[in-house]
Chains A and B, each alone.
Chain A
Amino acid sequence: MTSPSVRDGAVPRRRRGAPLSEKTFLTFLLAPGVVLLCAVVLYPLIRSLVTAFFDESLLYPGSTFVGFENILEVFRDDFLRLTYQTLIFTVGSTVFPFIIGLALALVLNQRFRGQAFLRGAFLIPWLIPGVVVSFLWMWIFDANYGVLNGILMSLGLTDSPIAWLFQTDTARGALILAKTWNSFPWIMVMLLAGLQTVPGELHEAAAMDGAGVVRRFFAVTWPHISGVAGLVILLEFIWNFQHFDTIFVLTGGGPAGTTSTFATEVYDTAFKGYDLGQAGALGLVWMLLLTILVVIYVWLSERGEKEGKR
């Protein structure tokens, strides 16, 4: 494409004499973003994966090549435990928010007074900073003065206060509960957007044919939102698979490392154990698992795009 060479009073005065060519302008448009993404995402990613094959420490310079030793150590020590613990958190923090988000989306998709206000108000848990979510639930789960123990004891359900965050099972449950509270509003918004594509007359027609609510949900509603639902579940899964904040603040991976995930373990190995090689190896294994998920995501969204064009 050549830029027009017409020059009159309307043409802007430019430091360089002639207007920019379209090609130069395109380069200018893309350059800042590409540079940032390469410097902050691509290069660190590659370099930390390469570190997996070296013995490198945060405390002193220099590194020695050790081949697959770090990676083998991951599979010897942590792999099964971390995968299991990460999966518990990921599956729990995906399934429960999805159920709540779907139920709420269906309710708020109906017309009633105050519905618009509620749609906004229910977003609060998702809007507030992740650290605040952690503080709040930490306080609710507090063993000495926590409100949860208070409610349970005044109802007579337990005799003595429970140290929720200091026992493996309850700590896992607490993390999933806090994350559920934090992420169901986003799922609700996404599903509400999906529900807008369900034609209302289809529902009425099905109702007149005598189809009950459950039947209508599966026959009319679900086919229209299954695409969005699938993407939402997968995205939540990917995000929870690398979630850090809630776990780090609420339990710090404890008690005795039984709630740690790949995210907290990589962080602790690098910044508390100062072992960059080992952190890189953990990251490499973690990335391999994640890549599988991302490939599914791209494949699904590509399929969704094709369907949308039809």
Chain B
Amino acid sequence: MTAIDARALTQAAPAGRGTRRRRGRVRWGTWAALLIIALFTFLPIYWLLVTSLTPSDKVFTFPPSFWPGEITFDHYAEVLGNPLIFGYLRNSIIVSVITAVLSVVVSMYMGFAFSKYRFAGRKSLMYFVLSSQMFPQALLLVTLYLVFAQFGLLNTYWALIISFTTFTLPLCVWMMKGFFDALPDDLIEAARIDGAGPWRVFHSVILPLAAPGLVAAGLFAFVRGWNDFIFALTLAGPDKQTLPPGLVNTFISEASTSWPALMAASLLVSVPVCAAFILLQRFLVGGITAGAVKG
């Protein structure tokens, strides 16, 4: 098998002469596909940016101009100066940060148990965690609303934090399990022989080594809380709502939508998420793949 592989590799370098022309055509098709998909992907983003920078009187003309004649940052100032939106921003930060912290703590414990312990019901519990992301959230929401109302948690940050933390668990637990799987069992054995109890083995030996995984899981949970719409819309009252439903309430409910301001706000909401991704890039691709396909 290896011999064949090696021969294929050595022969691969000089490509057949007859296929060169066909390759040229393929190149062409490749670039055309890339161009079309790129236009589809980036034109809307370009339009978002242009609208947010165009003066209002230029935006509401028809047909629209695709190039802003003059650039203004008024819409950004309008959004940032709006105390209502500032409140939503504060709520978003509070909810997302606490969600991230809680989610990391809960999922690191659970992920460690799945990775390094063998116990009765392990497999079924893992399936339960994984399948919990399949249940329709619109349906869970109806009862969650009643439960939170019963405990007086409706219109509090906790209603959002508890829900978001739970919904990040399937992916975060799997990410953490993946990180712990990569750590050798000998490490635990060695610490144990030195006389450390399980608590100490986990917190002073394992956890420091899994720090990158903790960061990745935390950023993912942050984004999940930051992006959510339906729960924040329903479980939190006007003064506890996060940005996504807050923006809908501020801009869409009015008779005429202030599109440039809404586009400016949209861009501002998207920035932290994109920043988190840049920090996360190294882990994320592995993480999304692992969470869905199962490690």
Which residues of A approach B to under 8 Å, CB–CB? 3-4, 6-8, 10-12, 14, 19-22, 25-26, 28-30, 32-34, 36-37, 39-45, 47-48, 51, 100, 103-104, 107, 110, 118, 120-125, 127-132, 135-137, 139-140, 142, 144-147, 149-150, 153-154, 161, 181, 186, 189-190, 193, 199-202, 204-205, 207-208, 210, 212-213, 228, 231-232, 235, 238, 242, 244-245, 248-249, 262-264, 266-267, 270-271, 276, 279-280, 283, 286-287, 290, 294, 297-298, 301, 304-305
Residues of B within 8 A of A248 (CB): 229-230
- Residue in contact with B44 in the complex, picked from A44, A103, A137, A270, CB distance below 8 Å: A137
Instruction: Find out whether the CB atom of A25 lies under 8 angstroms from the CB atom of B132.
Output: no
By Cβ-Cβ distance, the 6 closest A-B pairs, closest first, are A19-B197, A44-B143, A204-B12, A40-B166, A33-B110, A29-B113
Q: Which listed residue, A28, A127, A140, A297, touches B270 by the CB 8 Å rule? A: A127
Is B207 at the interface (CB under 8 A from chain A)? no
Is the Cβ of B259 less than 8 Å from the Cβ of A145? yes
What is the minimal beta-carbon distance from B177 to any residue of chain A, in angstroms?
12
User: A125-B41, A235-B292 in contact; A25/B143 too (CB < 8 A)?
Assistant: no
Contact of B105 among A32, A39, A186, A201 (CB under 8 A): A32
Residues of A within 8 A of B5 (CB): 199, 201
B62 touches A6 (CB 8 A): no
Which residues in window 141-159 of B have CB below 8 A to A?
Answer: 141-147
Tell me, yes or no, whether B208 is within 8 Å of chain A by CB: no
Main secondary structure of the interface of A (DSSP, over half): helix
Chain B residues in 8 Å Cβ range of A37: 128-129, 132, 166, 169
With a cutoff of 8 Å between Cβ atoms, the chain A residues found around residue B16 in the complex are: 207-208, 210
Interface string of B1-43 (1 = CB under 8 A from A): 0000100110110011011001000100010011001101110
B67 at the interface (CB under 8 A from A): no
Establish whether residues A135 and B37, one from each chain, have CB atoms under 8 Å apart when the complex forms: no
Determine whether B47 belongs to the interface, using a CB cutoff of 8 Å to chain A.
Answer: yes
A to B CB contacts below 8 Å, 25 in the list: A4-B197, A22-B198, A26-B119, A29-B117, A32-B105, A33-B110, A41-B135, A44-B139, A44-B140, A47-B146, A104-B33, A107-B37, A123-B277, A130-B227, A130-B229, A136-B48, A153-B63, A205-B8, A205-B12, A210-B19, A262-B136, A263-B138, A266-B138, A283-B136, A304-B294
Q: Which residues of A contact B38 (CB under 8 A)?
A: 118, 122
What total count of A-B pairs have CB within 8 Å? 311
Which residues of the other chain, A, contact B63 by a CB distance below 8 angstroms? 149-150, 153-154
Residues in chain A near residue B289, CB distance under 8 A: 189-190, 193
> In whole Å, how far is A41's beta carbon from the nearest beta carbon of chain B?
5
